[in-house]
C-alpha cells in the first residue's frame, strides 16, 4: 500500500506524551500531587476524563522501553536491551518496523519532539524511521551535566548536540546540549508540538505527535519562567511546569475542535529516578529503576478519548509497553507485521470498556539480557534478585515469590509448598517465549545494518 492511500478524515489523531523516569506515586491521581508538595490538576483532569491503568509495566531502562513502544516487540528480540554503549551501532536495525512507519502508511503525519535514544547513526535517526519531522536528542539528558564538571575535555568527548530533521533531508545540529538547554528542552518540545497539531488540523491530516519529554530525568531543571514558583526547589518547580504545559497542550485540542477525535496518552518510560537530589517516589512499590522491582516497572498510564473511552475508569489489569504499539496500530487501522513475533496486545477493548480484561496474563521482566523476574496475574517470581540500581544482581538457586496484592513492596518471600504451583504458569510463559526465539532468533546487541533474519532453526 502506498503511503497515504489509506487516509480517511475520520482517522483519530494520536497525542502521546512520554515522560522520562516518572515515579508511580508522583501524580495526584496516583496518590501524589499535593502529598509531594505540588498538585497536578491538569494531568489529574486528564485522568478523570479518561482511564487510568495501575499495572502498566515498562522496561528497566530508557532504550528498551522506547524500543518496546516503537516495535511492539520485547527489546531482547531487537538487540535494544540496554542504554547504548559507546563505540557500537546503537538502536534499532532498519529491519525493525516502527510505529510511525505503520501510521505513515495509513496517512498520518508523524512528528517526534524530544529524546529518541534508539540510534544516532545513518539510517537510524527519527526522520529515517517513519517520522516526517523531529527535534531533540539522539541520546540522553545526562550529557547536559558534562560541561559543569572540572576536567571535562571537549577535544576528547565532544558535547552532545541538539538536532532537527525532516524526512528526505539530513538532520542538522542546532548546537551543544548543556544545562541551560536542558532547562529549555520541554518548553521547546511542547511549543513545537502545539504548532505541529495546528498545521495538521489546518491541512486536514490525521497526526501522530510523539513527545518523549525530558521531565523529570536528571538534572530535573525547570524553565527559567518556573524557577522558584513553588518555593520547594527545582524538582517541584519542574512538576508545576509540566502540569501547566500538559494542560495547555490538551487545551489546543479543544481550541482546534478535535478533542473528540484524538486519543491522548500520558505515561512514563521507567519508574522513579534513584539519583539525589532528583530522587522520585515509587508510591506503594519497592525498588528502583534498572531492576525488575515494581518501582522500576510500574508507571502511570492515562488514556483519554472522549466518546470512546468512558471517563473516570481505572483498571489493575496487566499491561506492557509493547501493548502501546499494538493498540495505536489498531486505533489507526494499521496491520502489525506478520513476519516476526509481535508481543503487544491491543488494549482498546479494555480501555473502551467492551472487556474487563487486558488479554495479558504475564510480563517477562528482563534487565539488559537477563531474565530477572516474571509477573503472572498478581504473582511475581524473581530468579535474579536486585532491589536497587547500585546493588549487585544475585542469581537465586530458589526463586523468590511475591503476591503483589498482599506485598506490593516485595519484602516478604512466600515461596512456600502451598504456592509452588505458581511456577507452572510462570515457566510456561518463559518456555513460550524461548520457543518463539527458536523460530525467530534474537538480534544481537550492536548489530549493524543491513540486517536480515537468519533461517529459522
Residues carrying an active site annotation: 62, 117
Eight-class DSSP state of 444: P
Region at 85 (left for phi over 0; alpha for psi -120 to 50; beta for the rest): beta
CA–CA distance, 125 with 206 (Å, rounded to integer)? 23
Residue of 364, 367, 376 whose CA lies nearest to 436: 364
CB 373, CB 381: distance < 8 Å: yes
Residue of 24, 221, 66 whose CA lies nearest to 142: 221
Region at 72 (left for phi over 0; alpha for psi -120 to 50; beta for the rest): left
> Mind giving me the DSSP string for 6-34?
T--TTPPEEEEEEESS--TTSSGGGT-GG
Describe the strand order of the beta sheet including 379-385 as a list of residue ranges.
362-367, 370-376, 379-385, 394-403
Eight-class DSSP state of 421: G
CB 366, CB 59: distance < 8 Å: yes
Eight-class DSSP state of 382: E
Q: Is 395 exposed, middle or buried (0-12, 13-18, 19+ CB in 10 A)?
A: exposed
Write down the number of H helices and E strands in the chain. 10, 15
Please give the sequence-ordered ranges of beta strands (E in DSSP) within 25-94, or none if there are none. Answer: 51-57
SS3 128: helix
Lookup: cell for 70: 516503537
Cross-strand pairs, 113: 135
CB 404, CB 379: distance < 8 Å: yes
HEC string for 297-358 = HEEEEEEECCCCCCCCEEECCCEEHHHHHHHHHHHHCCCCCCCCCCCCCCCHHHHHCCCCCC
CA–CA distance, 409 with 450 (Å, rounded to integer)? 44
Lookup: cell for 342: 509481535
Amino acid at each position: 500500500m502506498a503511503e497515504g492511500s489509506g487516509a480517511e478524515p475520520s482517522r483519530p489523531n494520536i497525542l502521546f506524551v512520554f515522560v522520562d523516569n516518572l515515579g508511580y506515586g508522583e501524580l495526584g491521581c496516583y496518590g501524589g500531587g499535593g502529598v509531594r508538595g505540588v498538585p497536578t490538576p491538569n494531568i489529574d483532569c486528564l485522568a478523570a476524563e479518561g482511564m487510568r491503568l495501575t499495572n502498566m509495566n515498562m522496561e528497566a531502562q530508557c532504550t528498551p522501553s522506547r524500543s518496546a513502544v516503537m516495535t511492539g516487540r520485547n527489546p531482547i528480540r531487537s538487540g535494544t536491551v540496554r542504554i547504548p554503549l559507546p563505540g557500537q551501532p546503537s538502536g534499532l536495525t532498519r529491519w525493525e518496523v516502527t510505529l510511525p512507519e505503520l501510521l505513515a502508511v495509513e496517512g498520518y503525519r508523524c512528528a517526534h519532539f524530544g529524546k529518541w535514544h534508539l540510534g544516532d547513526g545513518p539510517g537510524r535517526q527519527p526522520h529515517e524511521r517513519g517520522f516526517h519531522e523531529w527535534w531533540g536528542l539522539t541520546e540522553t539528558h545526562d550529557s547536559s551535566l558534562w560541561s559543569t564538571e572540572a576536567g571535562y575535555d571537549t577535544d576528547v568527548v565532544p558535547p552532545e548536540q541538539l538536532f532537527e530533521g525532516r524526512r528526505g533531508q539530513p538532520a542538522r545540529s542546532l548546537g551543544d546540549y548543556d544545562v541551560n538547554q536542558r532547562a529549555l528542552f520541554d518548553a521547546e518540545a511542547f511549543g513545537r508540538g502545539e504548532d505541529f497539531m495546528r498545521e495538521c488540523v489546518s491541512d486536514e491530516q490525521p497526526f501522530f505527535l510523539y513527545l518523549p519529554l525530558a521531565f523529570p530525568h536528571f538534572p530535573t531543571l525547570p524553565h527559567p519562567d518556573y524557577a522558584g514558583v513553588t518555593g520547594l526547589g527545582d524538582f517541584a518547580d519542574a512538576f508545576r511546569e509540566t502540569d501547566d504545559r500538559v494542560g495547555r497542550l490538551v487545551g489546543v485540542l479543544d481550541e482546534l475542535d478535535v478533542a473528540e477525535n484524538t486519543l491522548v496518552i500520558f505515561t512514563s518510560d521507567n519508574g522513579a529516578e534513584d539519583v539525589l537530589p532528583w530522587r522520585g517516589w515509587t508510591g506503594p512499590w519497592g525498588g528502583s529503576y534498572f531492576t525488575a522491582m515494581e518501582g522500576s516497572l510500574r508507571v502511570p498510564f492515562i488514556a483519554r478519548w472522549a466518546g470512546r473511552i468512558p471517563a473516570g475508569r481505572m483498571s489493575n489489569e496487566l499491561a506492557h509497553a509493547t501493548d502501546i504499539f499494538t493498540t495505536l496500530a489498531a486505533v489507526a487501522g494499521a496491520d502489525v507485521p506478520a513476519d516476526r513475533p509481535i508481543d503487544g496486545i491491543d488494549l482498546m477493548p479494555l480501555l473502551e470498556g467492551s472487556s474487563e480484561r487486558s488479554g495479558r496474563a504475564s510480563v517477562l521482566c528482563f534487565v539488559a539480557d537477563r531474565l530477572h523476574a516474571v509477573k503472572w496475574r498478581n504473582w511475581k517470581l524473581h530468579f535474579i534478585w536486585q532491589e536497587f540500581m547500585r546493588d549487585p544482581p544475585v542469581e537465586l538457586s530458589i526463586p523468590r515469590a511475591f503476591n503483589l496484592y498482599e506485598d506490593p513492596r516485595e519484602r516478604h518471600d512466600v515461596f512456600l509448598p502451598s504456592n509452588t504451583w505458581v511456577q507452572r504458569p510462570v515457566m510456561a510463559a518463559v518456555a513460550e517465549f524461548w520457543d518463539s526465539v527458536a523460530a525467530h532468533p534474537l538480534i544481537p546487541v550492536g548489530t549493524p545494518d543491513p540486517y536480515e533474519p537468519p533461517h529459522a532453526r
